[in-house]
């Protein structure tokens, strides 16, 4: 049982999350720089690696980028050897993007040590503790997705209000 009050635990939890987000952002920036990518390209590569193969449209939706921006992202990722565009066997008109087969090898210097250490940390938790952590993270992701949609709607409102009115 914790010796801290509920309010202290809540404050510590919020601080831990905020600190983790900042540290993750700094790490992602360093990893992207090492890979020779900008942050947007790096984020798209992560989406492709986790969810792929994807069409350009599916990647645009997942990354919240325009189709024009995705084309440029994919051109850069393909030129660096991180992804391949391939024709869908079921529908030859459709092109999908998939991570290069050697993507894990390409990222080993960045992610190999963190994967080993992270697995050790995960293994230190009981099944019940790990289930709680996973539930917390999944619920947090769902919350972030809802609030990202909300903030994007605020941006749209802001842009509409700032647009010159035709008259």
pLDDT tens-digit readout, 2-48: 799 999 999 999 999 999 999 999 999 999 999 999 999 999 999 99
Looking at the chain, the whole-number percentage of residues with pLDDT higher than 90 is 90
Range of the domain at 55: 24-103
Are the CB atoms for 55 and 95 separated by under 8 Å? yes
State whether the Cα torsion 32-38-39-42 is positive or negative: negative
Looking at the domain assignment, is residue 148 inside a domain? no
Residue 49 CB burial class (10 angstroms; 0-12, 13-18, ≥19):
middle
Q: Please give the pLDDT value at position 73.
A: 97
pLDDT tens-digit readout, 139-158: 999 999 999 999 999 999 99
Are the CB atoms for 56 and 47 separated by under 8 Å? no
Number of domains in the chain: 1
Q: Please give the pLDDT value at position 43.
A: 97
CATH number at residue 92: 1.10.10.10
Looking at the domain assignment, is residue 14 inside a domain? no
Looking at the domain assignment, is residue 149 inside a domain? no
């Amino acid at each position: 049982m914790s010796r801290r009050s509920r309010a202290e635990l809540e404050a510590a939890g919020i601080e831990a999350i905020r600190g983790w987000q900042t540290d993750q952002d700094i790490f992602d920036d360093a990893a992207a720089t090492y890979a020779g990518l900008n942050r947007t390209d790096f984020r798209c590569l992560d989406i492709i690696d986790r969810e792929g193969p994807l069409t350009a449209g599916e990647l645009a939706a997942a990354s919240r980028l325009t189709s024009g921006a995705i084309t440029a992202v994919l051109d850069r990722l393909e030129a660096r050897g991180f992804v391949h565009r391939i024709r869908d066997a079921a529908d030859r008109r459709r092109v999908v993007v998939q991570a290069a087969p050697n993507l894990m090898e390409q990222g080993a210097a960045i992610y190999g040590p963190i994967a080993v250490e992270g697995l050790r940390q995960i293994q230190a938790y009981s099944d019940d503790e790990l289930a709680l952590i996973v539930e917390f993270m999944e619920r947090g992701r769902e919350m972030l997705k809802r609030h990202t949609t909300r903030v994007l709607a605020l941006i749209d409102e802001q842009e509409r209000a700032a647009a010159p009115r035709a008259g």
